[in-house]
Every structure is written in C-alpha cells, then in structure tokens.
C-alpha cells in the first residue's frame, strides 16, 4: 500500500465479510475468555517452563519448515535435550510463505513436529506472524536456499512473517485468514498445542500503525474458530506511548497475558507486577540475555515462585548464532547472550542446567 494511513480504516467486520472465508456462525464465540476461565485453564497446567526453539541446523523459520530442510532427526534429538532439562513447552515460529506454497506439506511437517514434541512430553506454542527484523536481508521472506549465517552475527538471515510489505496489503487478508483458521481448526482440540500466539513483537521497527490492522484481524479470525487453547499475542514496549493502541488491543483480546522482557532482576520484578495487574495468567515468552542481567539463576526461581510461565531464548546454539548479543560481532563472546546448550547437548553452564532440573524436579 502506498498510503499507510488507509490501513487504519479497515475493520475486522469488513475483513470477515469476504464471502469465501466468512463463518456461518451467527453468534460470536465466548472470546476472549473471562479472567476466571483463563485462571481455571492455567491452574490445570504444570508450571510452564521451556524455550523458544529453532533447530541448530536452521538459519531461520523458512529453513526450519520447508520440505528440503525440515530436519526431523535434529528436532527429535534436541527436544530430547529440552526434556532432559525438565522443559515441558517450546515456542516455535511459523513462516507464512512456506504454508502458502506447500499447504499440505506444511501441515504434515507441523504434525510430525507435534508428534516428536509429544513423545518428549513437550507442548507447543505456535507463532503465526512476526514483525521482528534482526536479519540483514530485508523484511521479505523467500523460498529456497537461505543465506548462510554471517560470521559473528545473531540471526543474520531472520525474516518476518508474512513480510512487512505483504502484511500491509489488505487484499491479502483473506489468504492470511485461511492460514490462521485452517491451522487452528485442524488442532483446535489438540492437547499437544498449549496456546496460540498470533503475533511476535507486533509493531516493532516503527510499524505500530502499519501492523495494527493485521493483529486486530488475527484476533477475530482465531476467536471465530474458538479453540480449546488460549489465544494471545505478546506484549513488548508497553511503556512506550507509541504502542498504547496495540497494547490496549492485546490486553483486551488475549486470554492469557504473554510478554517479553530481557531486563535485569529488579526491573523484571516490576514488569511481572505490571503484567499480573491485568488479572490473568502471565507467561513470559522471551527472556534470558545474560549480558543485560537477564539470567537463569535470578529469573527462573523468581518466575516459579510467582507461578509465571518461563519460556527463554533459546535451546541449542547453532546457525541462528544467538549466543552473540544484538548488534555484536566477532570475536566469540565469553558470555553467551542466549541459548543453554552446545550442539552436542553439553551445557554452556552446568549450574544453569542443574538449576533447571532442580526447579522442574527433573532428576
């Protein structure tokens, strides 16, 4: 769209009135869940603890999910590592483009991923859309061979989903709707899916107004399917007035509150209090940045004590190179930014993995 200001006039009702994708339901589903219903769901779960997961052999989400590079043996081995730490949850990102050009294949590979995770006692949190742009190749994904990681740079080949330009084109919304609804509908009663995370770090890179219509529509699409699992979108930069419109939408429409914070212990405690004030279950879906003071030894016990879900970034160091900090390059860091394990499963820190095992009662 050449005129981004036109985006704001599109409403969920207008989007849902595309005849091909309209629901036959005459009454709206009971969504978002009332706070009490959300708390009842949360009370039935074990303490949610896990990681954001990408295989060590994948440079981005396209490489993770496309047929040619879907690495089932590595996924099986590494989710075994996660289970060995006592983790019961992994958060994984989809890439819309893979679904668009290979829908049946994508659905099959996601099913295979769920089977592997379930074998290891791990539930899955899928993420549909993503505004984050760490990589150096621009804001648009592409299929085929992905660029190898640049030496010393975190996620140099990261690309958003569905891509910044496409996410602003309202003529694409019926296709996005089919992507969201067909996937949720297939697994709406699937206990292997813990919850549905609609949008990662929406509004990042000054996209607050540009991404609002897609987030607003995504909530409507997911709520229309009315799955057994909670629906959410993660809060970030909630103190920034530029994000107020997005924050208001997410806090009103999410069944459970999810948020990201890489802050040190004292501000992190404040962030937890702010999230708990919404009166819903709270899950931190991104944390652990050692150089910024976000550490296993301080944050993991705190989240268990306060019954807050803890999903750190990430698991095994690999082609994502997330042991490098944001904006940092070679030489190899003495202190890893993210990640817990090396490729062979040996820990970056014995103390960290022992604490995971102790707090999760994993012997």
pLDDT of residue 205: 82
Dump pLDDT digits (tens) for 123-160. 999 999 999 978 777 778 999 999 999 999 999 999 99
Q: How far apart are CA 326 and CA 153, in angstroms?
A: 8
Location of structure tokens 């930069």: 237
> DSSP letter at 316?
B
CATH 3.20.20.80 fits 47-359, yes or no: yes
Q: How far apart are CA 316 and CA 334, in angstroms?
A: 17
Mean pLDDT for the chain overall = 92
- For the record, the structure tokens of 25 come out as 């339901």
pLDDT of residue 1: 35
- For the record, the structure tokens of 361 come out as 């009662």
Peptide bond just before 32 cis, omega within 30 deg: yes
> DSSP letter at 170?
G
Confidence band (pLDDT; 50, 70, 90) for 114? very high
pLDDT of residue 327: 84
Positive or negative, the Cα torsion across 57, 59, 62, 63? negative
Q: How far apart are CA 343 and CA 346, in angstroms?
A: 7
Dump pLDDT digits (tens) for 215-250. 999 999 999 999 999 999 999 999 999 999 999 999
Location of structure tokens 């910024």: 292
pLDDT of residue 12: 38
Q: Give the HSE-up count for residue 84: Cα atoms under 13 Å, Cβ half-sphere.
A: 15
Location of structure tokens 């030894």: 297
Dump pLDDT digits (tens) for 293-326. 999 999 999 999 999 999 999 999 999 999 999 9
Instruction: Tell me the backbone φ, ψ of residue 217, rounded to 5 degrees.
Output: -70, -40
pLDDT of residue 29: 59
- For the record, the structure tokens of 320 come out as 């994502």
- For the record, the structure tokens of 119 come out as 């074998």
Cβ atoms of residues 138 and 159 within 8 Å = yes
Instruction: Tell me the backbone φ, ψ of residue 204, rounded to 5 degrees.
Output: -65, 160
Domain ranges of the chain: 47-359
Please state the rounded mean pLDDT for residues 18-37.
Answer: 64
Peptide bond just before 331 cis, omega within 30 deg: yes
- Tell me the three state secondary structure of residue 19: helix
Nearest CA-CA partner of 320 in 186, 147, 166? 147
Q: What's CA 39's distance to the chain center, in Å?
A: 21
pLDDT of residue 62: 97
Location of structure tokens 């007035």: 241
pLDDT of residue 2: 35
Nearest CA-CA partner of 290 in 227, 241, 339? 339
- For the record, the structure tokens of 341 come out as 């394990």
If one counts every other C-beta atom within 10 angstroms of the C-beta of residue 170, the result is: 18
pTM: 0.91
pLDDT of residue 363: 66
Tell whether the model's pLDDT for residue 28 goes beyond 80.
no
Tell whether the model's pLDDT for residue 19 goes beyond 70.
no
pLDDT of residue 330: 84
């Amino acid at each position: 769209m050449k005129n981004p200001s036109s985006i704001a006039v599109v409403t969920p009702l207008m989007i849902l009135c595309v005849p091909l994708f309209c629901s036959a339901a005459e009454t709206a589903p009971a969504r978002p869940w009332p706070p009490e219903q959300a708390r009842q769901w949360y009370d039935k779960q074990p303490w949610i603890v896990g990681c954001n997961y990408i295989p060590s052999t994948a440079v981005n989400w396209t490489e993770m999910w496309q047929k040619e590079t879907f690495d089932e043996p590595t996924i099986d081995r590494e989710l075994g590592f996660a289970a060995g730490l006592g983790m019961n949850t992994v958060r994984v990102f989809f890439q819309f483009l893979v679904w668009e050009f290979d829908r049946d294949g994508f659905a099959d590979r996601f099913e295979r991923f769920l089977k592997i995770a379930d074998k290891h006692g791990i539930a899955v949190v899928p993420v549909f859309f993503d505004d984050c742009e760490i990589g150096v190749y621009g804001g648009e994904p592409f299929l085929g061979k992905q660029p190898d990681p640049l030496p010393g740079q975190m996620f140099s080949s990261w690309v958003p989903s569905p891509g910044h330009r496409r996410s602003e084109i309202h003529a694409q919304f019926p296709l996005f709707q089919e992507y969201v609804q067909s996937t949720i509908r297939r697994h709406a009663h699937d206990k292997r899916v813990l919850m549905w995370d609609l949008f990662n770090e929406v509004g990042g890179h000054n996209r607050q107004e540009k991404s609002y219509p897609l987030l607003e529509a995504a909530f409507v699409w997911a709520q229309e399917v009315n799955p057994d699992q909670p629906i959410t979108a993660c809060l970030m930069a909630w103190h920034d007035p530029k994000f107020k419109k997005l924050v208001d939408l997410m806090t009103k429409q999410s069944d459970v509150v999810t948020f990201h914070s890489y802050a040190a212990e004292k501000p992190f405690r404040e962030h937890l209090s702010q999230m708990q004030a919404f009166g819903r279950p709270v899950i931190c879906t991104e944390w652990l940045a050692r150089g910024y003071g976000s550490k296993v030894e301080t944050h993991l016990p705190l989240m268990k004590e306060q019954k807050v879900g803890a999903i750190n970034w990430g698991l095994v160091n690999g082609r994502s190179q997330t042991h490098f900090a944001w904006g940092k390059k070679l030489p190899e860091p003495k202190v890893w930014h993210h990640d817990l394990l090396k490729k062979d499963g040996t820990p970056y820190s014995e103390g960290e993995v022992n604490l995971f095992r102790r707090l999760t009662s994993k012997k």
